[in-house]
Structures are given as C-alpha cells and as structure tokens.
Structure 1
C-alpha cells in the first residue's frame, strides 16, 4: 500500500504546535530566487510569531594529495570563504525587497544538508525555508536534490519555494494519509494561507483494478472509513474566519494524483508529510515526498515524520 493510501488503525492524534525557535532561511548566496525565499520566510515568521535568521553553509575544501599523504587545507582558507559568503548573504538581504538588514546571518562550514538539519534542531527552528530551482534541468536537479538531502536529515519542516511563489498563498493542497506528519502539514499550511484562502485535504485512494468480490468489498469498506477520518482531522484544525477547508478523495498513484489535483485547482502550495518505516525508506524519505519535491511546479511544504512514525 502506498503512503498516501495508508489508513491507520487508530484515530489521528492531536498535533503539537510549531517550535518556538526562528524561521531559518537557508541559502548559498545565489540571488536567483532570494526575493521569493525571503518573502516566504517573512510570511512564515509572521504566521508563527517567531524571528528570522539567515544561514549559509560552506562545504569544506578537500585536502590535497601529496604522494602517500594528504595535505590539510589551512584553516584560514575556510575562514576566508565563510567571510566571503557572509558578505554575499548580507548583500542579498540588503537588496532583496523582502530582506531586513537586522536579520542575523550565520555561515558555517560542513555538509550543507547535515549542517542545516543539525543547526535547525539545535536552534529549535520552526521551519527551514529554501529556494528550489525550476528554471532549467540543472537548476531542478541540484536545487531539488539539496532540499531532499536536507529533508532526509531534518526533523524540522521545510518550505521549498521557487521565484514565482506568491507573497501569500491563496490555495493550498495537503496530501493527507492521516499520519501525524501529514496532519501537521495541514496545520502549518493553513497558517500560511491568505485571508479568504482555501485548503484542500486530499487523500489518494488506491487505484481500483481488481474485479474480485473480496477486493470490491475491501474497497467499499475503505471508502466508508474516509468520512469519519476526514471529519476528525478537520475538527482538529483551527480555521480562521474566511478560510475554506474542503476534503477530497481521488484515485491513482499518490504523488502524480496529488500534483494533478493541485494543478487543476491552481494551488500555490502543496504540503505533504513523510513516513520512514524502514532503513531504505528512511534514505529516500518516502517516495511521495520525493516525487512531489522533484516535480512540483509550486511551493512545497514537507513535514518530516515524527519519532513515532520513523
């Protein structure tokens, strides 16, 4: 059974609120989507009532082989690179329409994904906001893979946006499999919506293909299970006045069906939770989140699995 098509045996549990630490803007100084990233960070910080901090990560320079030995790179080289990146980030913040010169800027040295994840956890961050390339295949490959690598390591939700992400989303679609992480994704997406916006809770049912009576009976029981589960999740959401929440069940493969629905309703944001049941799934973060991040044309909010779901 696919992740989105999973229905738990127990009722969905109440989801905790967001962390009280800052929204972290993760960037390498590339100005392509800075305005959208900073706008998204400002939106999230306002919605969650937290501060914004900017963080960049320099990968350490490899040592140079010299015969049988490896010559270490002098520490001052990495320090010089950190200083250059800090200047780039400060310049980007200063010139971006949504930037604020008062935002703290931190530049670290290490593996970008692992360093971002550990720093976010250390700071009790509410969210990591990252840019994601969508201009050409190379942007899509490298931008998306960096986001995926961070999500593999992170216990903090990630909002990945491209240059066309709106200042405030009007329509959000949540891939709901009734896991705690997918319900948390619904809570967070709801708080990012514009006044008068619409949130769609979308559950992707397995494609009906088997003609046997047993399958038809199972599928009918599956369908009867959905309305009360939808009602429980909807009842947990604190929906502001003017916001509309609807529930939808569609059939198909989870990621393509979810993205097709999002495109059909002109969504600005797709939100998903991740599940990590086994070692291999932990490596790939779950096929649904991976495929959504790699192929979505709009912003993606990905909420890592809770400890209970890992």
Structure 2
C-alpha cells in the first residue's frame, strides 16, 4: 500500500462540475464593504452563470422573562425589524456602484447561519457570498463567526471577502489534500481568476519526522507519489490558456503553512475544501477551514465535501 493510500486520499478521477444556480449575497444591510461584496457576487455570476440574489436574515427577538414565565415577543416586532432590514438592503444595493437595483432582495426571520444554509440548498445556489470583518475585534467576532457558523451548516460553497477583495483575483492559492472537496475548491477558484492569472496548488506534508527506517521509507514513498497525483489534478482541471499553474509541497501544520505561503506570494484568494462525515465533524467543520477563515487577510473560498446524515 502506498503512502498516499495510507493517508486515505481520494482518487482524482471523479468529474468536476459547477452548479449553475443563483449566487446568494448574504448581508444585513449594515456592512461597510458592500462594494467588495457586490463585486465578488458579480465575479461569481460571470464565472458560474447564475443570477444574483440578495438575502438577509433577521434573528427573532428572544422572549422576555416574567417571573417563572417567558413572554413571547409579538410577531409584529419581528416583522417590523424584517421590513427595516429590507429597506437597508435596498438602500445598500442602490448606493453601491457595484450594486444593481434589479437584484431580488429577500429577508427571512430565523437563525442566520442555519437559514442561509437551508435557503442556499433549497434554491440550488452555486455559491454564498458573505463579508468578513478584519478591522476591529467586533468585526472579527460578529462577521467572521457568522461566516464560520454558516459554513458549518452549509452544503453550498461559501466565498468570504473583505473590503479589499479585488474585482477579479490574479493569484489563488488552493490547499490541496487530494480529497474531492479540495479538487472542487481548485476548480471553482480557477473560474474566479482574472485572465492571465495564476493558481498555486499547495499540498502540506506532515511535519512529523522520525529517525526509524520505517518512517524514512514511508516518507520517501509519500514524496514519490505526489508528482503523478499533481499531474492528474492539473489535467482534470482543464486550465484555460493564459492561466499559469504551479504545484508546491511544503511541510508543517496545514492552516498556518497554507496561510504563510499565501501571504508570501501575495495571493488574493485562498481556497480550501472541508470534509464532514460525522455529527461532530459537521459541528467543527475542520480545523484547516476554520483557522484559515479566522486568520486569512485575503478572500477565502470554502467548499464543503459530502457528509453523511
């Protein structure tokens, strides 16, 4: 059994496709980075062919404690808050240069992460575009954690962008572990690149080393297996003319190593796949995607793998 087989990597023989559904732009109307958010939606719409829809989710007001009872909040209050968010979203779309007043706007009441995930799957969305805050602790707390919570729930890829996300990325870095999800992440990232751009497929090898002969043999076998796998992935991606492709292998902890490479190479986008097979894994998503999304200073594309229910 080869080293790669021992790591349970997925054979890259499965066909790659892009869902031709709508691009859902998730916002509450109060973000300060709508230009980047709407530009990212236009980019995705052009790349994947789906129409753009703006969606907001108004979290219901909790009940009020009264002695031993909890008094429910009148439905009219939640409806008023929902209507206010609709107005905010219309205003955001109208004043943003990248916005379009003709985009459908819909605001629902519920838990934002769960509601976004359910709506995206119900509508057959190709992508959820969300903002991610990086300016102050409150941005990092509310913006990033909402995006993470949505990814935990979603079966649809999520593109998280900050205010400096370019209209079209020129360099995408993909964390490639040869799973179906990571290959799909590479494929989607490739579609988002500007003409003449570059995509770098980065595989992070284990940092652990041991002086034993067994370890040395395993590590050597591992290294020999990587080049043909890279070749298969590149061939499967069908890279358009004018797009440069490079493959890199580094050692270390996957998330920090991937982010360090992305920063050193001035990448605009980091793409990762996520694998969730159990209830516990669905809750935590996976340390690589979580740590990348929490600490990246560039756009992050997270593509969920198949999960068992």
TM above 0.5, yes or no, is yes
Q: Distance in 1 between matches of 2:115 and 2:6?
A: 32
- Find the aligned partners of 1:15 and 1:64 in 2 and give their Cα distance: 52
Matches within 5 A, 1:25-36: 25-36=25-36
List alignment gaps of at least 5 residues for structure 1. Answer: none
Q: Does the Cα contact within 8 Å between 2:174 and 2:186 map onto a contact in 1?
A: yes
- The 1-side partners of 2:135 and 2:106 are apart by 28
CA–CA distance in structure 1, aligned partners of residues 15 and 303 of structure 2: 12
Structure 1 position 241 matched with structure 2 position 226: no
Distance across 2 between alignment mates of 1:255 and 1:299: 15
- Displacement after TM superposition at 1:8 (Å): 3.2
Which residue of the partner structure matches residue 141 of structure 1? Answer: 141
Distance 1:5 1:98, change over 3 A: farther
Partner of 1:226 in structure 2?
226
TM superposition shift of 1:209 = 2.5
Give the match for residue 89 of structure 2: 89
Offset of residue 240 of structure 1: 1.4
Are the equivalent residues in 1 in contact too, given 2:10–2:178 (CA < 8 A)? no
> How far has the Cα of 1:238 moved from its partner?
2.2
* Equivalent pair of 1:15/1:183 in contact (CA under 8 Å): no
Contact 2:158 / 2:302 at 8 angstroms: preserved in 1? yes
> In the alignment, which residue of structure 1 is the partner of 2:54?
54
How many residue pairs get matched?
306
Is residue 291 from structure 1 mapped to residue 298 from structure 2 by the alignment? Answer: no
**Structure 2 gap ranges (5+):** none
- Partner residue in 2 for 1:217: 217
Deviations 1:53-110 (A, max 9, x none): 0000000011122223222211111111111000000000001110000000000000
For the aligned residue pairs, the C-alpha RMSD in angstroms reads 1.7
* CA deviation profile, 1:201-229 (whole Å, cap 9, x unmatched): 10000014211111111000000111111
Question: For the residues of structure 2 that align with 1:5 and 1:65, how far apart are their CA atoms?
Answer: 57
Equivalent positions of 1:93-112 (< 5 A) are 93-112=93-112
1:244, CA displacement in angstroms? 0.8
User: Alpha-carbon deviation of 1:278?
Assistant: 3.5
Answer yes or no: is 1:204 the counterpart of 2:226: no
1:188 equivalenced with 2:188 (yes/no): yes
| Aligned-residue offset at 1:13 | 3.1
- Between the aligned partners of 1:282 and 1:57, the Cα distance in structure 2 is 22
Corresponding position of 2:263:
263
1:11 Cα deviation from its structure 2 partner: 1.9
CA distance 1:307–1:282, change in 2 (3 Å): closer
Deviation at 1:5, TM superposition (A): 12
Separation in 2, partners of 1:181, 1:273: 4
Matches within 5 A, 1:63-82: 63-82=63-82
- Distance (Å, rounded) in 2 between the aligned partners of 1:124 and 1:105: 17
Contact 2:27-2:130 within 8 A present in 1 as well: yes
Q: Tell me the alpha carbon deviations over residues 23-69 of structure 1, each in whole angstroms, 9 at most, x when there is no partner.
A: 00001112311110000000000110110000000000111222232
Q: How does 1:272-283 map to 2 (within 5 A)?
A: 272-283=272-283
CA deviation digits over 1:214-251, x for unaligned, max 9?
11110000001111111111111121110011111100
Deviations 1:120-166 (A, max 9, x none): 00000000000000101221122111111000000000000000000
TM-score (structure 2 length as normaliser): 0.95
Q: Contact conserved, 2:173 with 2:201, CA < 8 A, in 1?
A: yes
